[in-house]
Chains A and B, each alone.
Chain A
Amino acid sequence: MTSQRWMGVGRSAVTDSRDAAAAATAEALAGRSAVLLLVYAAITYDPAELAAGLADAAPGVPVIGCSTHGEIGPDGPRDGSLIVTALGGPGLAVATAATAQVSGRQREAGAEVAACVAEVGDHPYRVLILLTDGLARDQEGILRGAYGVAGARVPLFGGAAADGWRMSGTFQLHGTSVFTNGVVAACLASDAPMGIGVRHGWRPVGEPMIVTESADGRVLQLDDEPALDAYLRRIDAPSDLTADPQELSRFVLNRPLGVQRRSGLEVRNMSTEVDVAGRSIGGGGDLTLGGLTWAMEGDEASVLDASQEACRDAVATLDGRPVIGMLTFSCAACRAVLGDDGIVREHERLAGASGGAPFAGFYTYGEIARTRGIDGFHNQTMVVLALS
């Protein structure tokens, strides 16, 4: 038993779900008692078997987790694996919650899981970690609901579960319960600071466009013309791009849109729900009707710089205390932009910024980090939670 707070990470790539859970948990725990297990699993795993394996390997320890589009760990980014992150040691407390059937009642669902914030007792630092279904609309609604209950002094952090670009269904875990359209949450309270970093590597190109018509989370018109046409023209897309859905998706993936916030531009990924016939775009969260939006561009260098800066920002808020570990959630679309070699270089940056502390996370369908204001849903962004 260590007298310090600690974070341990274990990974397994064995295909049997229960065996993988047992192996990764054992590695993460390394014989220690944890207060929380965070699990990031490839969509190929059987979530019920995973949950059972985790319960066997760490009886009674609270668990939240979800499916991914690739798992980030100290030994590099991988597909088809399972990562268990264990947190333990003195001065840590955890309360978890989950709710099902989120679609259509996002705010209510966010508020329900955030109620666990009240259960962790009196600690100077708290963060609410949320794992949502990345295929559900209105992720902002979940965060608004959670914020309303958790309050301004509890940062929100997390990610939207992915399913390896299958776009057919993600899963979330809470203890031995499995959800496909749920939200799972853990309020982590600590006697030591916890810091959040949020960075993206995208910059605006050219003049902004006005969102002149939107509905149900989709952008129907930009500058009073069909949104897809205005968007493709602004990003200088080839004229025959829409004839090939795969090529279209690849092209727009690294040309997201930006929306302005007081502290800078936020990124909205419009690559996942392009409607060629209806000439509309959507997918990465809400674009406010009447707002301005910019075409954005980036490259490997800018994305890698952002990932590294997010880590540094998170660590910088720890008041100089040593980092015991970092949760690193990046975007599935960023991964596609970086490519297989690029994500290895991203890993090197993360490892360098962690100062040797373990880190783990996954490639998401949306990143969650609220430290100021009431909003906190991001696309194509690196979000980092540094623990001390």
Chain B
Amino acid sequence: MPGSGYENQQLVELLTVVTSCEDRDTATRAAVECAAGALEAEFAAVVVDGRVVASVGFGGSAPDVMATVAPGRAATLDVLGTGKCAAGAARFGDEGTGRLVIARLDLDFTVEEYNLIRGMAKVLGLTLRMLDTLEQERRRRRLMNHLYAVQRALSRRVPLSDVVSLVVDGTRDVLGNGTDTVTVWLGATLTPAAFSGVPAEPATLKPFPTLVAPVHEDGHVAGRLEISRREGAFGPNDEEDLLAFAEHVSLAVTSAKHLHDIHQAMHDSLTGLASRQLFLRDLDDVLADPIGEPVALLFIDLDRFKQVNDTLGHIAGDLVLATAARRIGTVLHPGDLAARLGGDEFAVLLRNADPTDATEVADRLIDTLNEPITTPEGQAEIGASVGIATTTTGTGDPSPHDLLRRADVAMYEAKRSGRNHTVLFADHIFR
């Protein structure tokens, strides 16, 4: 008869069912139903740390009485007024904090059935431990993927706000349980730099458990990364992983600060164009390119700028310089370089440009700079004298300094010969 070995077979079925589940919640729910079915019981629950985490036989949540059943088979319950139930419970988990509780109407559990409950609890405990280990491994992998994405973004020097958004999304994915708000607060006033989840209002976050990790900039606290949870508690790895994400916000903030400092050092603060130092460095890089590309360096000196300064004042003069820089930018192509060398002198490096191309660009530059510039103190009318020197990259001759000097010489020739026009460097000028 198939009746013999029934309990063993039910244990195998439970084992097969719960080990085919992919996460803790699914396995727990499956175990509850499987156990109730095997024992033809009306009620079953899994209790962890005194709280029912899965149950069957109750319309909504299981009554507290299910969490009070002590391990053994001698208990009786009246579940929701349904009458006398025999109740059996068995521990599971490393410290015995979990319990599988089964309640059956009118019919006591035999010792074999109680042994089955104990076996099922043991199987559930082992399965949950295995799933926890797998989940930790999956989580570790997700964490590493997110941190790697943040590091790639940092190396590509993407804007700080984008890096912070990556961190927020990653934090939510790795730590979040669907009820969280993740926020990065930055700066002296701790304004929210990015958040995900419920809109971040500090007052509304207070009632919820919150984990916080500091964000540093050059060793000083510069903000914080925090996660607030509406439901459920934080897990043992949450704090450590949050710190890892916060460290990456620190890296991003520090990197952005350095980038800002570098930019400040290498660019003209009035026009935003590259400084002479940066221009020469970039010029050095371009001329070293062995590809053999024709390039042209334009040396631009504004005509009548001193008069503007003298008659309209320095503030108007600064405005004229900034406007001139913007107009220079309008005639350039992507890849071309522009710099303010100092005073009213500018330089432009045109990529892939022969003397004819360079002359055309220079003429357009002169045309645009000839347009009057309106300042609060009055209208400024300037012009430009442009000297051009050309070369081919990868030849090593002339050097960046020599090329700049040639263009400078040509510019003086243009100035000398009547201003507001272009001169292409030739050896006879130099002589």
Binding site for B on A (CB under 8 A): 111, 144, 147-149, 151-153, 204, 208, 258, 260-263, 265, 288-292, 294, 372-375
Contact = CB atoms under 8 A, between A and B. Distances in A.
A148 B83 contact: no
Interface stretch (B8-16, B64-72, B151-159, B398-406): B8-16
B160 interface: no
Contacts of A289: 13, 16-17, 20
Contacts of A260: 2-3, 6, 9
B42 A152 contact: yes
- How many B residues are at the interface, by size bracket? 20 to 34
Contacts of B36: 373-374
Contact of A290 (B13, B37, B80, B82): B13
B59 A148 contact: yes
A374 B45 CA distance: 13
Interface in B36-73: 36-43, 56-59
Q: Which of A111, A152, A204 has the most C-beta atoms of chain B within 10 angstroms of its own C-beta?
A: A152
5 contacts: A147-B57, A148-B59, A151-B58, A372-B42, A373-B39
A288 B40 contact: no
A151 B80 contact: yes
Given A144-B33, A208-B2, A373-B40, 7 more contacts: A148-B56, A260-B2, A262-B6, A291-B16, A373-B39, A374-B56, A374-B57
Nearest to B80: A151
B79 interface: yes
Interface string B1-39: 011001001001101110010000000000001101111
A265 B13 CA distance: 16
Q: Which of A258, A265, A372 has the most C-beta atoms of chain B within 10 angstroms of its own C-beta?
A: A372
A119 to B, nearest CB: 14
A148 B79 CA distance: 13
A291 B8 CA distance: 11
A374 B37 contact: yes
A290 B58 contact: no
B105 interface: yes
B17 A288 contact: yes
A261 B7 CA distance: 10
A372 B105 contact: yes
Interface in B69-99: 79-80, 82-83
Contact of B59 (A149, A204, A258, A262): A149
A373 B12 contact: no
Contacts of A374: 33, 36-37, 41-42, 56-57
Q: Which of A204, A261, A263 has the most C-beta atoms of chain B within 10 angstroms of its own C-beta?
A: A261
A152 B57 contact: yes
A288 B12 CA distance: 11
A262 B17 contact: no
A152 B104 CA distance: 10
Contacts of A263: 40
A262 B280 CA distance: 88
B43 A152 contact: yes
A204 B16 CA distance: 23
A265 B6 CA distance: 11
Given A260-B9, A263-B40, A290-B13, A152 B79 contact: yes
Nearest to B36: A374
Nearest to B58: A148
Nearest to A147: B57
A288 B37 CA distance: 11
A170 B11 CA distance: 38
Nearest to A258: B2
Contact of A152 (B2, B3, B34, B82): B82
Given A288-B13, A374-B33, A262 B38 contact: yes
Nearest to B6: A260
A151 B56 CA distance: 10
A290 B83 contact: no
A281 B12 CA distance: 22
A243 to B, nearest CB: 33
A153 B82 contact: yes
A149 B42 CA distance: 12
Contacts of B15: 290
Q: Which of B2, B34, B37, B56 has the most C-beta atoms of chain A within 10 angstroms of its own C-beta?
A: B2
A149 B40 CA distance: 18
Given A148-B56, A148-B59, A292 B41 contact: no
Contact of B12 (A258, A262, A290, A372): A290
A289 B33 CA distance: 14
A263 B82 CA distance: 21
A49 B224 CA distance: 69
A294 B80 CA distance: 38
B372 to A, nearest CB: 73
Nearest to B1: A204
Q: Which of A111, A260, A374 has the most C-beta atoms of chain B within 10 angstroms of its own C-beta?
A: A374
Contacts of A292: 2, 9
Nearest to B34: A288
Top 7 A-B residue pairs of the complex, sorted by shortest distance between their CB atoms: A290-B16, A152-B42, A373-B40, A262-B40, A149-B59, A291-B13, A290-B13
